[in-house]
Structure 1
């Protein structure tokens, strides 16, 4: 990480941090894309079953791994303060904490997965695919959370290219495993949509072990000596991670869970509707990787500048990041308007499914513009360690406003499944507006504090 003085230097630093994160996030999203796409080509029931499985898993994996993102602002600020000797302690605590999270998720799945799926009244084939997809995926939960902790450390150092390379290596492995396990190639059993869950679990192990070796042996990480000294579980360390990470994780959970809730509510419609909805959500999730990557880059950059006592530079980075996200979202909107039919054709050969995907993608234009504002702002606020208000704002916007509006429109009007998407648009727009107001308050407070400190000196 380098100190910047001019706007041009900040753009360069922003690009250096952002681009590898963007490639990493798109690659991770591509894994879900290939799970969905290859399952969909196997059959509509497998696409629908995988959709239900992904919708149950995504809020859990993004929300709980979001708690581990606390490592990023903690380490970034420690580096900005030149307190590198404290870094290894927090990384080890995050790894211990990740193990606890994994065990809790596996236990919860064992107790509640069957009752949840049974309560959804799914078609038998869809039910079985969803259940065994998640059962296979469970074998990769421990390495998934472990990698989330290590990646947060790697990225906090500005070594985002390392995360990118690890993920790029894992993608072709994931696709190959999907191919042999979904379609039963080279003597492997033909598992259909369930095979994508097994492939993803194997990929998680490969990613985690690779990251573990790199952090232990990599030259850029040597001075931190993460595994040089054993750190046992620390209540104080866990409390610090939980204090910063829990609001972050729940804020992420509320956003991803509302999409999952809509998908689960869609189970009351037919298999074609479920499949089309999931395909459109999958593509929208791929577009979401752009503001999400900017969010992660801003957490690193803003955290570093705040740790070094430079709030003006932190504010400059926030303007660069949010402006970039909005500009790219408008470009994506043009793509969806002009080539929505081509996008829909990627996911299915069924004309009825393709037509419905196109309709959903029109609605996706509006909420991805709101995401381009709200998501980078959350990254900036995390850099300031201002995490609690975002937790409450996202909950109110998505669950008190967005989901009820969508439910009423879907049930009480002729909009049907499209009503849920209008609800999503409403909730995301409210979230973007309120988070923007919160950012203004926080930055004003830091400017005032900086002015007072300047007068005292």
Structure 2
């Protein structure tokens, strides 16, 4: 067990750093933007939900590359792995065009629809537009990071994420408030910071993939269209993207419900979500680790070894969340007060943080076992369960507790963690009831 735990930590800790860089960046940026007022916090919160939904819809491309490349690497067939990421990058180009077009044409209308406020839509239009433009770069970053992790290199995504995050923090500070000779752009400056940070990250990813990794994996080979492989990647990307989108659209509706409770409730919701994203950090990191390890073992023809590594990954990740949740529970009030000087907002945010401090372990179970199921290519089950529990369970339950029972923001957050508890338990059961002796590497027909 000690050997496998060392292996998990060797892969998982850089991934924790990678996701931590993004999470901490979001936290610092929100704190800096928070001094612009509750409206600015609410705009950032709504924009985050919008961008998460857009990213979720297309995130399956990067997740598919991650697990298929991991299987190819385990099978010592990286010619196939490189061809797969080439096809994924072509799909990513279409996503980039969509993101630019959406940012240019529908930013204000989307903000108005979600927030229900024309004032908020007018104030945040330019910020959301820049977030869409940044997304065009971000989808490529996600695909490249999926490749790097698939071959067992979690340090490169960590370093690239750190570099991009530092760029975002720096430019948020200087462009929002006009420091060091830069113009004072307010909330729009924070939008430019996202754009610049994603561009910096993509520049590094291109260098690592085409220059540094070429001698080992021959990454600059000529692109050849392979119809069966393209169908496989499109199908898997579609299922994983819809699975993520089902969850994200439910969070989209969740935020819309909270938004109807007023600007203070929406601002407190964003602060609490931002704090709880510290829990998402190890959850996402060890989810990616489970995908890598399980996928590589499946590629090697050792699925039972992958099952054991997936279990060990879930145990380690849960311990991380337990320690983090304990800290968040006992320090909820001072943490919330760092985000805003508004006593009503900080008090409500602290209450929401306490509700979710320990319940986030079930969010972790969902992520850990979803990562393991991705590693074996069980994407159809992930899609079905997400559609069922997100849209048929979470959304009506949130409406019931928030409005019908009159519990407000507290009711919304109780429903969120009830949903994650059921979903995480369902995936854990699926992981252990799978006939692992029949698990094989995913190949195109």
**Equivalent residue number for residue 224 of structure 1:** 217
User: Is the alpha carbon distance of 1:30 and 1:221 closer, same or farther for their aligned partners in structure 2, counting shifts above 3 Å?
Assistant: farther
SS at match of 2:35: helix
**Equivalent residue number for residue 160 of structure 1:** 154
* Aligned equivalent of 1:254, options 246, 250, 258: 246
Say yes or no: does 1:148 pair with 2:142: yes
CA distance in 1, matches of 2:393, 2:62: 28
CA distance in 1, matches of 2:361, 2:43: 29
Per-residue CA deviations over 1:246-268 (Å, capped at 9, x if unaligned) read: 22222222223322321222221
Whether the aligned pair in 2 keeps the contact of 1:366 and 1:425 (CA below 8 Å) is no
CA distance in 1, matches of 2:277, 2:14: 18
Per-residue CA deviations over 1:40-80 (Å, capped at 9, x if unaligned) read: 12221111111111111112224412332211111111121
Per-residue CA deviations over 1:278-319 (Å, capped at 9, x if unaligned) read: 010111122111111100011010001011111221111111
**Equivalent residue number for residue 47 of structure 1:** 41
Say yes or no: does 1:359 pair with 2:345: no
Say yes or no: does 1:78 pair with 2:72: yes
SS at match of 2:357: helix
RMSD between aligned residues: 1.9
**Equivalent residue number for residue 333 of structure 1:** 325
Matches within 5 A, 1:42-441: 42-120=36-114, 122-218=116-212, 220-227=213-220, 229-441=221-433
- Comparing 63-72 with 375-384, greater Cα deviation is found at 63-72
User: Is the alpha carbon distance of 1:35 and 1:63 closer, same or farther for their aligned partners in structure 2, counting shifts above 3 Å?
Assistant: farther
**How many residues matched?**
440
TM-score by length of 1: 0.91
Per-residue CA deviations over 1:399-445 (Å, capped at 9, x if unaligned) read: 21112101111111221122211221121111112112211222xx1
- Comparing 121-130 with 253-262, greater Cα deviation is found at 121-130
> What are the ranges of 5 or more consecutive residues in structure 1 without an aligned counterpart?
1-6, 451-457
Whether the aligned pair in 2 keeps the contact of 1:53 and 1:134 (CA below 8 Å) is yes
User: Is the alpha carbon distance of 1:367 and 1:193 closer, same or farther for their aligned partners in structure 2, counting shifts above 3 Å?
Assistant: farther
**Equivalent residue number for residue 21 of structure 2:** 27
Per-residue CA deviations over 1:362-387 (Å, capped at 9, x if unaligned) read: 22225412111111000000110111
TM-score by length of 2: 0.94
Whether the aligned pair in 2 keeps the contact of 1:295 and 1:380 (CA below 8 Å) is yes
CA distance in 2, matches of 1:222, 1:30: 34
SS at match of 2:272: helix
1:121 CA displacement: 5.6
Per-residue CA deviations over 1:10-40 (Å, capped at 9, x if unaligned) read: 1111111111111001101222223322111
> What are the ranges of 5 or more consecutive residues in structure 2 without an aligned counterpart?
441-445
SS at match of 1:42: coil
User: Is the alpha carbon distance of 1:88 and 1:35 closer, same or farther for their aligned partners in structure 2, counting shifts above 3 Å?
Assistant: same
**Equivalent residue number for residue 443 of structure 2:** none
CA distance in 2, matches of 1:346, 1:287: 18
